[in-house]
Chains A and B, each alone.
Chain A
């Protein structure tokens, strides 16, 4: 009986040990082959592709801002739709994820701020029309010339103010939370 107990304990011990092993993936094997596009050239080619897309990017931006505006309208209009939040959040994330890659750094900054606000709203903080409207206006501004070529650091008053809004929302007392 005692022997059996010992064996069980030993087996358990082995079972919980970490097994560490080398994995030779095909990705590593193939990616290390000679003959790839040299780094600088590869990056330049990728950047050229992005630059080619830029003229039409504004159209995509217009569509996304329209989608966002429609979702927000449904949060406050007579045609209230509970799915507004999901759609507004999705549009904001998309704007944030793509903006800076396409050279619109301000779009990414403002959309990122809006994402944070929508996350807080989802957690129960009351919807504030003025805060959302302020961000929609900032997105429109960030889309327009000459702001589209600026980075957040070049507009410290605007970006600092928007950031402060998020910070304040994060510090609301518990009673404000639904």
Chain B
């Protein structure tokens, strides 16, 4: 990720959802260092849903395994709830499971981005900047509501090509090596060159 934009997080309401209190503390401190001053945190789904229905949130950072149902299920629920005013907020999934299938599941649930745990300040800052400066359109179909999932082939792990005749990449089984953050990013890159 070559993005070097400066982001202004002042007055943005950021919700951190993770069951691990130490991790929440770390993310909280990092975001404060980035200039954020309106931070909320929750450690379970019920509180998360209550917070989302009770007030306007600007971005959600959610653990992929957030108890009891998991962050992906929550993401789907948020996106599908037509009455939720936070339906289109950016959702950044934090996951220690870097398998390609998990990343794709996050994307298909409607996440804007996946960030691999353990998280470093640099990676967190750059992913927030990516979300801030990449305008992805939203797609509403019978089976999906969320950011446009069409991605360019280049950047897929293990050198999968970009040629016209290349086969469409199948969704993988729940096996395989963990992807690095760069590989994860490539799965979240909009397909159309020139799309801002």
A18 near B88 with CB under 8 A, answer no
Q: In the complex the two chains form, what is the Cα distance from A122 to B108 in whole Å? A: 26
Q: Are B118 and A99 in contact (CB under 8 A)?
A: yes
A98-B138 Cα distance, complex, nearest whole Å: 33
Cβ-based interface call for A30 (8 A): yes
Binary flags per residue of A72-84, CB closer than 8 Å to B gives 1, else 0: 0000000000000
Cβ < 8 Å to A, chain B residues 98-153: 117-122, 124-125, 128-129, 131-133, 135, 137-142, 148
Could you tell me the distance in whole angstroms from the C-beta of A98 to the nearest C-beta in chain B?
5
B53 adjacent to chain A (CB < 8 Å): no
Range, interface on chain A: 35 or more
Tell me the bound Cα distance from A101 to B133 in angstroms: 26
Of the listed stretches B28-36, B39-47, B70-78, B154-162, name the one at the interface; the rest are far from the partner chain. B28-36
Determine, out of A1-9, A35-43, A143-151, A153-161, the stretch whose residues face the partner at the interface.
Answer: A35-43
Interface residues of A in 8-32 (CB under 8 A from B): 15-23, 25-28, 30-32
A34 at the interface (CB under 8 A from B): yes
Complex: A39 Cα to B29 Cα, angstroms: 16
Is there an interface contact between A23 and B138, defined as CB atoms closer than 8 Å?
yes
B4, B90, B96, B129: the one contacting A93 at CB < 8 Å is B96
Kindly state whether residue B58 has any CB partner on chain A within 8 Å: yes
Contact A46 B8 (CB under 8 A): no
Which residues of chain B are within 8 angstroms of A17 by Cβ–Cβ distance? Answer: 141
Q: Is the CB of B33 within 8 A of A49?
A: yes
Q: Is A15 a contact of B142 with CB atoms below 8 Å?
A: yes
B117 and A97 contact, CB distance less than 8 A: yes
Q: Does the CB pair B89–A35 fall under 8 Å? A: no
A60 at the A/B interface (Cβ < 8 Å)?
A: yes
Report B95 CB to chain A, min CB distance, Å.
10
Known contacts being A39-B5, A45-B34, A48-B33, is A27 close to B26, with CB within 8 Å?
no
State which of A35, A49, A90 has its C-beta within 8 Å of the C-beta of B32.
Answer: A49
In the assembled complex, which residues on chain B have CB atoms less than 8 Å from the CB atom of A49? Answer: 29-30, 32-33
How far apart sit A145 and B169, CA to CA, in the bound complex (Å)? 45
- Interchain CA distance A49-B117 in the complex, whole Å: 18
Question: Are A43's CB and B96's CB within 8 A?
Answer: no
Q: Knowing A36-B35, A39-B129 touch, does A27 contact B117 (C-beta < 8 A)?
A: no
A100 to B180, CA, bound (A): 14
Whether A27 contacts B141 by the Cβ 8 Å rule is: no
- Would B8 and A25 count as touching, CB distance under 8 A? no
A27–B57 CA distance with the chains assembled, in angstroms = 9
B4: which A residues are within 8 A, CB to CB?
Answer: 39
Q: Do residues A98 and B8 form an inter-chain contact, with CB atoms below 8 A?
A: no
B54 to chain A, nearest CB (A): 17
Judged by a CB distance under 8 angstroms, whether A126 is at the interface is no
Contact present for B29 and A46 (CB under 8 Å): yes
B8 touches A100 (CB 8 A): no
Interface residues of A in 91-143 (CB under 8 A from B): 93-94, 96-102, 108, 112, 115
A112: B residues at CB distance < 8 A: 96
Q: List 15 A-B contacts (CB under 8 A).
A: A20-B139, A21-B138, A27-B132, A31-B128, A36-B10, A36-B35, A37-B6, A39-B129, A46-B33, A49-B32, A50-B29, A53-B26, A53-B29, A98-B22, A108-B118
* Extra 17 A-B pairs, beta carbons < 8 Å, given A45-B34, A46-B29, A97-B96: A16-B142, A18-B140, A18-B141, A19-B139, A21-B137, A26-B58, A28-B135, A30-B58, A31-B9, A31-B128, A36-B9, A37-B33, A46-B33, A46-B34, A53-B25, A98-B26, A102-B26
